[in-house]
Amino acid sequence: MTDPFLDSLATALAGQVATALGAAGTRALEKVRELLRRRSQSDPETKAALEAAEQDSAGPEQITALAERLDQVCAEDAQFAEELRAEGAEVYKEISASENSVVNVNHGKVRNLIQAREIHGGITFN
């Protein structure tokens, strides 16, 4: 099991939570992406995982693979891990659910999907 922080970054890098990010989170995500691209110049495994997760067709498998790769790289390189956590802190903060926010992420195909904070009344699907 990977670190929830790294899972969140992988999900954000895959474009799965773009609407949940504000301006600061979007800027932070770009910094994370640039950090990973620099790392990828000498690390083909990270490059492949990042590119696969960024594809429009990416699904849970590619996101999990990226999170696992990030976990492995962070375990091997403490300096990189520190930099990734510093750059990714704002992204994680914005997409982590708290008392005042709800973040829903859907992977896969669904027929009916509702994402809401509060619903007063019923919901009917026809």
* pLDDT, tens digit, 9 for 90 and up, residues 20-45: 677 888 888 899 999 999 999 999 99
pLDDT 10s digits, 53-69:
998 888 889 999 999 99
119 domain-assigned: no
42 domain-assigned: yes
Domain of residue 23 covers: 4-95
pTM score of the predicted model: 0.71
Q: What angle do CA 90, 88, 30 make, to 5 degrees?
A: 95
CA–CA dist 20, 6 (Å, integer): 17
106 domain-assigned: no
Domains in the chain, number: 1
Question: Is 101 in contact with 25 (CB distance < 8 Å)?
Answer: no
40 domain-assigned: yes
68 domain-assigned: yes
- Report residue 108's pLDDT band, with 50, 70 and 90 as the boundaries: low
- For residue 91, the model assigns a pLDDT of 86
117 domain-assigned: no
CA–CA dist 60, 107 (Å, integer): 6
62 domain-assigned: yes
